[in-house]
Structure 1
Amino acid sequence: MTLTLEAVAELEARSVSAWFGDRKVLDQVSLMVPAGTVTALIGPSGCGKSTFLRILNRMHELVPGATLAGSVMLGGSDIYDPTWKLTEARRAIGMVFQKPNPFPAMSIYDNVVAGLKLTGTKVRRADRDGLVESSLVKAGLWKEVRDRLRQPGGALSGGQQQRLCIARALAVQPRVLLMDEPCSALDPTSTRRIEQTIAELAAEVTIVIVTHNMQQAARVSQQCAFFLAEEGAPGAIVEAGPTQLIFSTPEDPRTLDYVNGRFG
């Protein structure tokens, strides 16, 4: 299948359920992620947020014994349809993990372009310098590393490494960027810089972020989805909507209790 990435941004999960072996971990999760916005997935540990995030770019299927039902629509097309190649899905929907994972011995420059080979993205050699610069600029890292692009990515600080991973994800020009607790291992200064980067990126890429930090969710997102798994039941969305409403006047009392720190 041929995909025009530039035309694709809105993401929609439809009745997604997931299992690890016989254990059901998600039940009938449906969520519309509007184009060009930041959506925060919130909820206690173990309620399926990270599993759901991995389903959105076909990482769940790599876990032995893992299965799922439902569909994930991108631009009106289900990324789990057989006509979609895995590399196409990963190119369109990028991922940044909780712990920064640059290739430590690889240079900063080569880290940024590494995703091109992994996703089969072809870029002319003459255009690579510009792509590296633009990706690092978008990730808020260019000014700090432009004079040492050939130095190892592993020599950067933790916060810089995370922004390098964001640059690597952006280099393939995804329409959606998934972020699984991207600031949990970072100090407050680095966290603030990552949040600034998220705000700057939201105009051109749809972002879905998992976070346990309620203040962060309130700061960076326009929409929130509250996940909960009660008494051994699989995870499900209790409610989703504009962040301001979820934090001030949610419909479900469990949501109000969670965002106010009464449990979780």
Structure 2
Amino acid sequence: MDTTSAPLLVGGPPPGPAGLTAVGVSAWFGDNYVLDRIDLEMAPAQVTALIGPSGCGKSTFLRILNRMHELVASASLGGEVLLDGRDIYAEGTRSQDVRKRVGMVFQKPNPFPALSIRDNVLSGLKLARIKTTDADALVEQSLTRAGLWREVRDRLDDAGGALSGGQQQRLCIARSLAVGPNVLLMDEPCSALDPTSTRRIEETIAEIGHQITVVIVTHNMQQAQRVSDRCAFFLAGENEPGRIVEQGTTDVMFTSPSDPRTLDYVSGRFG
């Protein structure tokens, strides 16, 4: 079976990578001002890494990109997030429709432990009310893209919770990919994993990064260099909101950034 072309999804997002652009995005939790006027273009079919010390708003920004920020009762925001030129917060735009197109992989793997591997992959479709004409083909394709198919193809009926931590994270990636998103957000997906599992997930990012748009938060500077096309460096001063100090191609950001704070951070002098 050819697993490189997507099986038909009925009611799913339009196929292909999408551009994602933040325009003047600011964020609050109650009176706490956490992000200040973020402008960032995340190009289609590229990997954008969000780097910077803990507490500078990277994960908050990531959650704004698929409308998870609004799930916190005290949260508010300003600015626009444009998905292929259309504001995902525009009146009448449903958050569920946004999340079909902009998937999320979290820091800690969160498969449904009692569901089988196969049902874990397909669970996102049920939640999003998307149908497929060939479930078996979709399961194989999604697990292949996530770099997990060869390891689990003979035990698809085993519980997802029986997998190792690294395998569970790749299963979560497969679950997200099964919906056919245009963008995949990843919040420190390797932070709790061993080096071997980290390498496999980085290989997965390299594979899918040319097929969809990927935005990843990472504190691992070597990882940012390995997997990303572009980087955005976030920084927050004491009692100040997070801002983007500098953004650009990964090569330039790590070899000849324009701001000395960027060089200090990527060189490990702070953070």
Q: Given the two structures, how large is their TM-score scaled by the length of structure 1?
A: 0.97
Q: Which amino acid aligns with 1:69?
A: G
> Which residue is 2:167 aligned to?
160
Q: CA deviation at 1:250?
A: 0.5
The residue that corresponds to 1:221 in the other structure is 228
Amino acid at match of 2:220: N
Distance in structure 1 (CA, Å) of the matches to 2:141 and 2:16: 20
| Separation in structure 1 between the aligned mates of residue 96 and residue 239 of structure 2, nearest angstrom | 35
After TM superposition, list the pairs within 5 Å mapping 1:67-82 onto structure 2. Answer: 67-82=76-91
Kindly provide the CA deviation profile for residues 32-64 of structure 1, in whole angstroms up to 9, marking residues without a partner as x.
Answer: 001100000000000000000000000000011
Distance 1:80 1:228 in 2: 25
What is the letter of the counterpart of residue 183 of structure 1?
A: C
The one of 30, 45, 58 equivalent to 1:21 is 30
User: Gaps (5+ residues) in structure 1?
Assistant: none
Shift of 1:81: 1.0
- Equivalent-residue separation in structure 2 for 1:90 and 1:155 (angstroms): 27
Per the alignment, residue 120 of structure 1 pairs with 129
User: Is the contact made by 1:14 and 1:71 (CA closer than 8 Å) also made in structure 2?
Assistant: yes
In the other structure, the counterpart of 2:156 is 149
CA offset digits 1:118-161 (Å, max 9, x no partner): 2221224xx11111110000000001001110110000000000
The 8 Å contact of residues 12 and 130 in structure 2, kept in 1 or not, is answered as no
Q: Who is 1:237 aligned against?
A: 244
| DSSP-derived class of the 1:67 partner | strand
Task: Give the alignment of 1:175-186 within 5 angstroms.
Answer: 175-186=182-193
Q: Is the 8 A contact 1:11 1:34 kept in 2?
A: yes
Q: State the aligned residue count.
A: 261
- How many percent of aligned residue pairs carry the same amino acid? 67
Is the CA contact 1:8–1:74 (under 8 Å) kept in the aligned structure 2?
no
- Which position in structure 2 is the counterpart of 1:192? 199
The one-letter code matched in structure 1 to 2:25 is V
Q: Which of the residues 80, 86, 102 maps onto 2:95?
A: 86
Query: Pick from 20, 30, 51: which aligns with 1:11?
Result: 20
| 1-structure distance, mates of 2:95, 2:59 | 19
Aligned residue in 1 for 2:43: 34
Which string of whole-angstrom CA distances, capped at 9 and with x for unpartnered residues, describes residues 215-250 of structure 1? Answer: 000000010000000111000100100000000110
- In structure 2, relative to structure 1, the CA distance for the partners of 1:188 and 1:210 (3 Å cut) is same
In the alignment, residue 29 of structure 1 is paired with which amino acid? Answer: I
Q: Is the 8 A contact 2:17 2:212 kept in 1?
A: no
Whole-angstrom distance in 2 between the partners of 1:185 and 1:255: 26
1:129 is matched with 136
Shift of 1:184: 0.2
Q: Secondary structure at the match of 1:27?
A: strand
Checking the alignment, whether the CA contact within 8 Å between 1:8 and 1:75 is kept in structure 2 is: no
Mapped partners of 2:16, 2:58: distance in 1: 27
